[in-house]
Amino acid sequence: MLYRQAGKADEVLSILGFGCMRLPILEGKAHVIDEEKAQAMVDYAIRHGVNYFDTAYIYHSEVPFQAGASELFLGRALSGQREKVHVATKLPSWSIESRADMDRYLDEQLGRLQTNQIGFYLVHGLTGDVWNKLERLGITEFLDAALADGRIGHAGFSFHDEPPFFKPIVDAYDWSFCQIQYNFMDEDFQAGRAGLEYAAGKGLGVIVMEPLRGGGLAARVPEDVQAVWGKAPVKRTAAEWALRFVWNRPEVSVVLSGMSEMPQMEENIRIANLGLAGSLTGEELALIQEAKAIYQARTRVSCTSCGYCMPCSNAVNIPGNFLQLNNLSIYQDRATAEFFYFHILKEEQRATHCDECGQCVERCPQHIPIPERLKEVVREFESHARG
């Protein structure tokens, strides 16, 4: 495993972090973690040098934005191994209505994780508006106090907003680190490349999420993209190209991968052993830009399947609908996309049941106009099937 120093946090972290948002589950229930499989993955990761584990209050929850199972599982899974790793979790910023709420959630999370200190504590999902609200409620005083009394080791934030709001948040507090979305498709999205460079230039450790765009850059690679990868003298999987692109940047401290199967863990650890900064050649970077252009031309909806939009009050499976729309567009395989849409998605989960209430739009960190895009799903699948 390769390691990098996380900026002002002054900690040496594995360049691969285990994102505990997509752990293996039982019976298709997101809030029921398959603890036997997940424990095996945790143990394997630690044996192979992974020392950064990222979770959040809401991960693996039955009801969105409520307490989930991930923190509880991780608290149990790391028993006897805590000294080998750094744990990161997040204050549920959308639920904060008072200064007292901040302490209440942090103290609850310490109990859920079975620890006296959370090494890396993030203010979750910041936007410009959320940050302004939290500032008024005393977030900076809270972070100062939690650092001083040892309940947290380092203070950071994760970001989900437009580029202009990133730098003011970086400058608003003496952060040790931040977490941003970054991959070869999202160099100009949210914080993007400019934010990565700015944060690192201010001394922050930078944790990268969604390096594979919810797995979309690694699964079912279209033939024309695979042809691009095939031109390289050194043969790599699609996942390796995407991960190596992020690790190529020296500003990146850790890349999070939300692994849900042991083969994913094994492959990512193999790739991480090669993830040196500056190790890709100019020709290889040019191939990545060539693949990017192909994806950009085909992708219909920039959904990462994070699930923040769920559940829909009408039971529409929003990420599932967008997945099939993108599959249809990217892979140009209507038969397969229609099979998944009509036979895997339940009838009540399909886009036609959207009533345009707009609640999902408020939750979406990608700022997708979801009702409008679901109409495209209806046109592509429902209307096409009717002839």
Tell me whether residue 311 is in a domain. no
Tell me whether residue 303 is in a domain. no
- Measured CA to CA, the distance from residue 32 to residue 7 in angstroms comes to 36
217, 362: one domain: no
Tell me whether residue 309 is in a domain. no
Q: Which helix (H) or strand (E) holds 46?
A: helix 35-47
- Measured CA to CA, the distance from residue 40 to residue 100 in angstroms comes to 38
- The rounded mean pLDDT for the chain is 94
Tell me whether residue 302 is in a domain. no
- Measured CA to CA, the distance from residue 72 to residue 106 in angstroms comes to 14
Tell me whether residue 307 is in a domain. no
125, 47: one domain: yes
260, 353: one domain: no
Tens of pLDDT, residue by residue, the chain (387 residues): 999 999 999 899 999 999 999 999 999 898 999 999 999 999 999 999 999 999 999 999 998 788 999 999 999 999 999 999 999 999 999 999 999 999 999 999 999 999 999 999 999 999 999 999 999 999 999 999 999 999 999 999 999 888 999 999 999 999 999 999 999 988 988 899 999 999 999 999 999 999 998 788 888 788 899 999 999 999 999 999 999 999 999 999 999 999 999 999 999 999 999 999 999 999 999 999 999 999 988 889 989 888 899 999 999 999 999 989 988 888 777 888 898 899 888 899 999 999 999 999 999 998 999 999 999 999 999 876 665
pLDDT for residue 318: 96
149, 181: one domain: yes
Q: Where in the sequence is the domain holding 328, given as residue range(s)?
A: 318-386
State CA 252 to chain mean position distance: 15
CATH code, domain with 164: 3.20.20.100
Give, in degrees to the nearest 5, the angle at Cα 41 between 35 and 43: 100
pLDDT for residue 106: 98
State CA 48 to chain mean position distance: 22
Instruction: Please state the length of the chain.
Output: 387
pTM score, whole prediction: 0.84
For 363, residues 6+ apart whose C-beta sits below 8 A from its C-beta are 64, 65, 308, 309
Task: Pick the last residue of a domain from 241, 261, 295.
Answer: 295
For 108, residues 6+ apart whose C-beta sits below 8 A from its C-beta are none
260, 150: one domain: yes
* CB-based contact 18:290 (threshold 8 Å): no
* CB-based contact 211:247 (threshold 8 Å): no
325, 187: one domain: no
84, 231: one domain: yes
Tell me whether residue 313 is in a domain. no
Among 271, 162, 256, CA closest to 209: 256
Token pair recorded at residue 352? 């036609």
Percent of the chain with pLDDT over 70: 99
24, 172: one domain: yes
Tell me whether residue 312 is in a domain. no
For 147, residues 6+ apart whose C-beta sits below 8 A from its C-beta are 153, 154, 155
Tell me whether residue 310 is in a domain. no
Among 91, 54, 84, CA closest to 211: 54
pLDDT for residue 207: 98
105, 219: one domain: yes
The Cβ of residue 136 has, within 10 Å, a number of other Cβ atoms equal to 9
Task: Pick the last residue of a domain from 261, 295, 329.
Answer: 295
The Cβ of residue 231 has, within 10 Å, a number of other Cβ atoms equal to 10
- Measured CA to CA, the distance from residue 272 to residue 44 in angstroms comes to 14
47-94: per-residue pLDDT in tens? 999 999 999 999 999 987 889 999 999 999 999 999 999 999 999 999
49, 110: one domain: yes
208, 331: one domain: no
Number of domains present in the structure of the chain: 2
Token pair recorded at residue 279? 């190790």
271, 381: one domain: no
